């Protein structure tokens, strides 16, 4: 099963009321782990590269081509997504490289400006089989709208979707980015109201802070694309730490990256079960 358009994975999950895991890729081994985990779970998966990761590498193309190549050789459907892009040029580059979706993040901009730029991104993606995710702005702070006390208003969500034509919407329902404890409490009634009001698949950012049972409830209440990064890095790094502590003389990077990649893959498979995404696709 080759690289697939993000829309096909998200739409099936939205209609089937299950979650689609969207896991961040910073290094090649992330992409390998996420796909191995998805194959183990027999689930589709989204590999996402954030603007942050692009800045860290200094360019998009090398990591993007690696993620696309891993997707193309996967045995389950895999989509590749650009995450948290604030630069329209980066969005264009990702589309040209063959990404199936982009998130334009204008959440730090005033409403009017976010609206205008999001519309431009939607217009640029039109007719190119690219699924566009956006985010409502207006709230400041380190996490923007993804701070524990911040909530998306259903009526604003409806207006934003109508006025921009986006395919998916990131909403604030109680998560916060980069949490290293899984203690977030979600507003499940709000999720249900937003699903109804927005009329497009909803995206949960900062899902690392959400405990397993709450992730399942969030999906049942109406969340579709579930973004997880920090939690998987935590699992990976713990493994590296353990291996190096047990074998301080190790030099070959594969000897500690390899076990960490396997542990991350197993956690991806487990999370896909939590999201009720497992056993949904046939292996090729
Ligand atoms: O867009 C990426 C996600 O929102 C990941 O957030 O690192 O808190 O899981 P997280
Ligand atoms: Zn995010």
Task: Write the pLDDT tens digit of every residue in 213-264.
Answer: 999 999 999 999 999 999 999 999 999 999 999 999 999 999 999 999 999 9
Asked whether 177 lines ligand 1 (CB < 6 A), one says yes
Asked whether 83 lines ligand 1 (CB < 6 A), one says yes
Instruction: Name the band, by pLDDT with cuts 50, 70 and 90, for residue 142.
Output: very low
Tokens 């299950």 label which residue? 18
Closest to 121 measured CA to CA, from 166, 82, 153: 166
Q: Which of the listed residues 229, 264, 267, 275 should we mutate to test ligand 1's pocket, taking the one with most ligand atoms within 8 A of CB?
A: 229
Domains with residue ranges and CATH for the chain? 6-137+157-168+230-274 (3.20.20.70)
Q: Which helix (H) or strand (E) holds 78?
A: strand 78-85
Which residues place a Cβ less than 5 A from the ion ligand 2? 205
214 or 143, which is more confident? 214
pLDDT for 146 beyond 90:
no
Q: Whose CA is nearest to atom 6 of ligand 1?
A: 206
Other beta carbons within 10 angstroms of residue 102's beta carbon come to 29
Counts of helices then strands in the chain (DSSP H, E): 11, 8
Q: What's the token pair of residue 17? A: 């009321």
Measured distance CA(284)–CA(282) in Å, rounded: 6
Rounded percentage of the chain residues whose pLDDT exceeds 90: 90
Span from the CA of 178 to the centroid of ligand 2 (angstroms): 9
- What is the pLDDT, as a whole number, of residue 108? 86
Q: Do 5 and 99 contact (CB within 8 A), yes or no?
A: no
Q: How far lies 35's CA from each of 115, 256, 268, in Å?
A: 34, 19, 9
| Three-state secondary structure call for residue 106 | coil
CA angle 96, 117, 149 (to 5 degrees): 110
Measured distance CA(6)–CA(15) in Å, rounded: 14
Instruction: Name the band, by pLDDT with cuts 50, 70 and 90, for residue 144.
Output: low
Q: Whose CA is nearest to atom 10 of ligand 1?
A: 206
The residue-averaged pLDDT of 17-23 equals: 98
Does the active-site annotation cover 83? yes
């Amino acid at each position: 099963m080759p690289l697939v358009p993000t829309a096909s994975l998200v739409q099936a999950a939205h209609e089937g009321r299950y979650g689609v895991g969207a896991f961040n890729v910073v290094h090649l081994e992330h992409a390998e782990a996420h796909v191995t985990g998805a194959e183990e779970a027999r689930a589709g998966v989204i590999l996402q590269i954030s603007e942050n990761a692009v800045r860290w590498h200094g360019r998009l193309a090398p990591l993007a081509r690696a993620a696309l190549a891993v997707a193309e050789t996967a045995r389950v459907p895999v989509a590749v997504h650009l995450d948290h892009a604030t630069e329209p040029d980066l969005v264009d580059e990702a589309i040209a490289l063959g990404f199936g979706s982009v998130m334009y993040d204008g959440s730090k901009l005033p409403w009017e400006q976010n609206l205008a730029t999001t519309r431009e991104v939607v217009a640029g993606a039109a007719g190119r089989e690219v699924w566009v995710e956006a985010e409502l702005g207006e709230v400041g702070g380190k996490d923007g709208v993804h701070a524990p006390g911040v909530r998306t208003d259903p009526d604003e969500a409806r207006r934003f979707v109508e006025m921009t034509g986006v395919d998916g919407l990131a909403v604030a329902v109680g998560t916060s980015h980069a949490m290293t404890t899984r203690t977030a409490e979600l507003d499940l009634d709000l999720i249900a109201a937003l699903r109804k009001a927005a009329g497009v698949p909803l995206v949960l950012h900062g899902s690392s802070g959400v405990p397993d049972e709450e992730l399942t409830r969030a999906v049942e209440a109406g969340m579709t694309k579930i973004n997880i990064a920090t939690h998987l890095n935590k699992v990976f790094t713990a493994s590296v730490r353990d291996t190096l502590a047990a074998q301080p003389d190790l030099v070959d990077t594969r000897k500690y990256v390899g076990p960490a990649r396997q542990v991350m893959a197993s956690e991806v498979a487990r999370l896909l079960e939590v999201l009720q995404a497992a056993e949904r696709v046939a292996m090729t």
